[in-house]
Amino acid sequence: MSRAPVIAIDGPSASGKGTVAARVAQALGFHYLDSGALYRVTAFAAQDSGLPLTDEPALARLAEGLDIRFDGVEVYLHGQPVGEAIRSEEVGRAASRIAALPRLRLALLGRQRAFRQPPGLVTDGRDMGSTVFPEASLKVFLTASAEERAQRRYKQLIEKGLPANVTALLQDLRERDARDAARSTAPLRQMADARLLDTSHLTIDRAVEQVLAWYRATVSGSAAA
């Protein structure tokens, strides 16, 4: 594995980790990996082909054969843009379900680690710091209250002209949190060496500044050592 530095940002759904991670990567000139997009693309492809979300061996084979490409924030599946399609609530729920399958997670592990290239990588997900990049230079557990996350998701959907119900969104987020934390393989949890960043009352800019400050302090400390 490349020894390029990694900033791993984990956290629950709708906590803002993707936006923060992308902006940190841009500020540092690093590569960016939205690991959740890999599961969303797999879920989308499974639904599109009529594959049952309970067929673990078939889902693992599907994931291994998918032609997935990232170009900035856009995601391509077999050459076709699917960035908007995989962000639907339906695909998100399906991705959360299949993410609990050990064989599927193993099938995607190598793909995720391949994104670690010079000059560095910023990645977000549920198990980036615990399983995929346990030796990351900086680990951040980015979270927010369930109520705040539901409000954010509600605003995003309304701005896109999509129907949304904040009560239903809150229930869905709580169910996802419980499912992600309870799964046997790579559960969502804050690692002992991860910095906690609660964004409930923070702007995106402030959250980005904090992660950058932590990383620069880490780099300075390594250089001094």
Residue 224 above 70 pLDDT?
A: no
For residue 33, list its beta bridge partners: 123
Instruction: Tell me what pLDDT residue 3 has.
Output: 82
In a domain, 225, yes or no: no
Give Cβ neighbours of residue 55 (< 8 Å, ≥ 6 apart): none
Residue 225 above 80 pLDDT?
A: no
Q: Which position has the higher pLDDT, 71 or 106?
A: 106
Strands 74-77 and 121-125: unpaired
Please give the Cα distance from 213 to 150 (Å, whole number): 28
In a domain, 224, yes or no: no
Residue 2 above 70 pLDDT?
A: no
In a domain, 189, yes or no: yes
Task: Determine the average pLDDT of the residues in 128-151.
Answer: 95
What would the pLDDT profile of 100-109 be if each residue is shown by its tens digit? 899 999 999 9
In a domain, 158, yes or no: yes
In the numeric block, the tokens 């987020």 are attached to: 173
Residue 125 — pLDDT band, cuts 50, 70, 90? very high
- Conformational region of residue 44, where left means phi above 0, alpha means psi within -120 to 50, and beta covers everything else: alpha
- Domain holding 113: CATH number? 3.40.50.300
Task: Determine the average pLDDT of the residues in 156-181.
Answer: 90
Q: Provide the residue range defining the domain that includes 153.
A: 6-219
The average confidence (pLDDT) of the chain is 91
Instruction: Tell me what pLDDT residue 72 has.
Output: 67
Residue 184 above 80 pLDDT?
A: no
In a domain, 131, yes or no: yes
What would the pLDDT profile of 29-63 be if each residue is shown by its tens digit? 999 999 989 999 999 999 999 999 999 999 999 99
Instruction: Tell me what pLDDT residue 141 has.
Output: 97
Q: What are phi and psi of 97, to 5 degrees?
A: -70, -50
The total domain count for the chain is 1
Instruction: Tell me what pLDDT residue 220 has.
Output: 85
In a domain, 1, yes or no: no
Residue 151 — pLDDT band, cuts 50, 70, 90? very high
Computed from CA positions of residues 172, 131, 196, 72, in that sequence, does the dihedral angle turn out positive or negative?
Answer: negative
Strands 74-77 and 80-81: antiparallel
Which tokens sit at 173?
A: 């987020």
Instruction: Tell me what pLDDT residue 182 has.
Output: 84
In a domain, 167, yes or no: yes
For residue 75, list its beta bridge partners: 70
Instruction: Tell me what pLDDT residue 222 has.
Output: 67
Secondary structure of the chain as H, E, C letters: CCCCCEEEEECCCCCCHHHHHHHHHHHHCCEEEEHHHHHHHHHHHHHHHCCCCCCHHHHHHHHHHCCEEEECCEEEECCEECCCHHHCHHHHHHHHHHCCCHHHHHHHHHHHHCCCCCCCEEEEECCHHHHHCCCCCEEEEEECCHHHHHHHHHHHHHHCCCCCCHHHHHHHHHHHHHHHHHCCCCCCCCCCCCEEEECCCCCHHHHHHHHHHHHHHHHHHHHHC
- What is the pTM (predicted TM-score) of this model? 0.87
